[in-house]
């Protein structure tokens, strides 16, 4: 089986699995965002040939190189972003799923402005260039894993306000990754409730980015809007 045929099979299998889980849960099928980290650009190009338009990456340098090589695709940043790399991320990211601090939000806002000045992002008429961002939530408050603690609603509110007050960022929703020892259904349910609460406050739709290959069922049953699938579509990571 060729690599393209393998990817086509895995992609179709994932789509069918997601559709079946959503139907069983009485939920709309979420968007599938393939995670292509550690896989070569040649594999990502094959996904484009198979009709994929959006993929996700965890590491800035790797993502930037692939985005430059494959301009036909939209690359989304789902890994932690160091503030010092915000200018780089702002150049290529179609969205950022891991905003977890006021400092990072402000750096990304400045980064988009700089990218516009350099002609790396375009404005639409009189409207400023906008980078959609998701606020990353933390269920356990572990700073090493990133995220704003869900148990600190004031911290979440301050970050929402900072994103909403920025010129070049727009809150697209929230993202969460359950801790290894946590009940994923409980984490996803809490994140779904928080997303809906803020959608009501802001008066517009917000999306929940939650669920990966290992916990698709719990995420879909909780009503996630986006699932980030790596191994299920790409197969095992290449040995580096």
Positive or negative, the CA dihedral 118, 66, 175, 99 is negative
Q: What is the pTM of this model?
A: 0.96
Position 32 scores a pLDDT of 98
What is the pLDDT tens value at each position of the chain, 240 positions in all? 999 999 999 999 999 999 999 999 999 999 999 999 999 999 999 999 999 999 999 999 999 999 999 999 999 999 999 999 999 999 999 999 999 999 999 999 999 999 999 999 988 777 889 999 999 999 998 878 899 999 999 999 999 999 999 999 999 999 999 998 899 999 999 999 999 999 999 999 999 999 998 899 999 999 999 999 999 999 988 765
* CB-based burial label for 90 (10 Å; 0-12, 13-18, 19+): buried
According to DSSP, the β-strands at 148-149 and 93-99 are unpaired
Position 240 scores a pLDDT of 58
Helices 153-165, 102-117: inter-axial angle, 10-degree rounding: 10
Position 142 scores a pLDDT of 82
For the chain, which domains are there? 3-234 (3.20.20.10)
Q: How long is the chain?
A: 240
Position 237 scores a pLDDT of 80
């Amino acid at each position: 089986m060729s690599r393209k045929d393998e990817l086509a099979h895995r992609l179709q299998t994932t789509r069918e699995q997601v559709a079946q889980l959503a139907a069983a849960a009485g939920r709309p099928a979420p968007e599938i965002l393939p995670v292509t980290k550690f896989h070569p650009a040649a594999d990502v190009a094959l996904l484009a040939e198979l009709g994929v338009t959006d993929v996700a990456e965890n590491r800035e340098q790797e993502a930037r190189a692939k985005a430059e090589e494959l301009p036909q695709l939209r690359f989304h940043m789902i890994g932690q972003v160091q503030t010092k790399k915000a200018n780089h991320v702002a150049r290529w990211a179609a969205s950022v799923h891991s905003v977890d601090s006021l400092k990072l939000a402000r750096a990304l806002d400045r980064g988009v402005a700089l990218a516009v000045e350099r002609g790396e992002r375009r404005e639409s008429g009189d409207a400023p260039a906008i980078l959609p961002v998701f606020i990353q939530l933390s269920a356990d408050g572990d700073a090493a894993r990133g995220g704003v603690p869900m148990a600190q609603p004031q911290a979440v509110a301050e970050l929402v306000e900072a994103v909403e007050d920025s010129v070049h960022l727009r809150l697209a929703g929230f993202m969460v990754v359950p801790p290894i020892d946590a009940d994923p259904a409980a984490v996803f349910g809490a994140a779904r409730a928080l997303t809906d609460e803020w959608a009501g406050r802001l008066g517009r739709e917000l999306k929940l980015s939650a669920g990966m290959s290992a916990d698709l069922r719990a995420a879909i049953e909780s009503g996630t809007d986006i699932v980030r699938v790596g191994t299920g579509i790409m197969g095992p990571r290449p040995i580096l």
